Structure 1
Amino acid sequence: MAACPEQEARLDLHAAGALDTSETVLLVQHLESCAGCREAFAASVEMLSLLALPEPTASEKSAQDALPRRTLEAWQHEHARPSPWRRKMGVALAAAAAVAFAALVPGLMSPGGLTGGAASGAGDSASEAQQVEAQTLADFEAWAGLEPLEPGAVVEDEEALEDLEPSNEDDLLGETL
């Protein structure tokens, strides 16, 4: 015998224990009078009992009970901020290290650094910068396969240079190669 089509969904819900109280009362009254629905209900209960998980062991139950506590402890440990005294101590140690470093290396704090005064370094750095610039230009010309430019040389093709230098930045917008 088959179950009533309008009761099939309710039978499965009732077998799973998911039917609300008012509908359960109506379904139980119907089951008393309908043999097909009783058979379908018994089949649903049997099927769900096969799907049920076994009861957890004592160790599994204690692990499940401790899970929320362990999870909360792990979260608190991950999001814990260092205590205020530790932060203050860290700042104090960093300041003490900076003062000790400045005291132990007195030449470092002078205007010229470890090399001495600033006056002797200013002239040297300007000539050194000119030498580096000249060497860089020579290296670039050698790399590009160009003949070295001589000071005061005149560029022959001025129109080619005008193409390379835009009159304003708006001219370059949308331009493709």
Structure 2
Amino acid sequence: MAACPDMEARLDLHAAGALEPEETVPLLQHVESCAGCREALAQSMEVLSLVALPAPTAAEKAAQDTVPQRALEMWKRERMSQALRRRTVGSLLAAAAVVAAMVLMPGMPRPWTTNGGSTAEPADVDAEARAVEAQTLADFEAWAGLEPLEGGATWEDEESFEDLESWDDDDLLGETL
């Protein structure tokens, strides 16, 4: 005998344990009075018992228990690598923007050029450095009220040592600049 057409889906759901509790009571009342539905329910339960999975082993249970933790760790690693990629790309874009601004904006000071806008020759740089050094020394001498240093004077001159010998060490300690 065949099951009632409007009850077939409910019978399968009940056999699988997926039927809502408020629908189970009327279905069981109908199964008691209908032999076709009783037979269909028994067949559904038999088929489902054949496809039931065996109980999980201890290793399977342990693996299932660690799934949430592993998923969280993978998610964190992925987020960290995404953040690192974003920071790297951002840094590269910022560096590119600075380089583009330096190259494309006229009038911006460039460390590789002189005031004239062209690169200076090494010989000109040495001569320029010597001129600045000589001017700085002259300015210092003028500020200190000193006589310009003689180019040929050395410490080996006898006159220089005579001046040093006449100084008393006690006199030097009391003097300040």
- TM-score range for the pair, normalised by the shorter chain length: 0.3 to 0.5
* Pair member with larger Rg: 2
Length-normalised TM-score, structure 2: 0.46
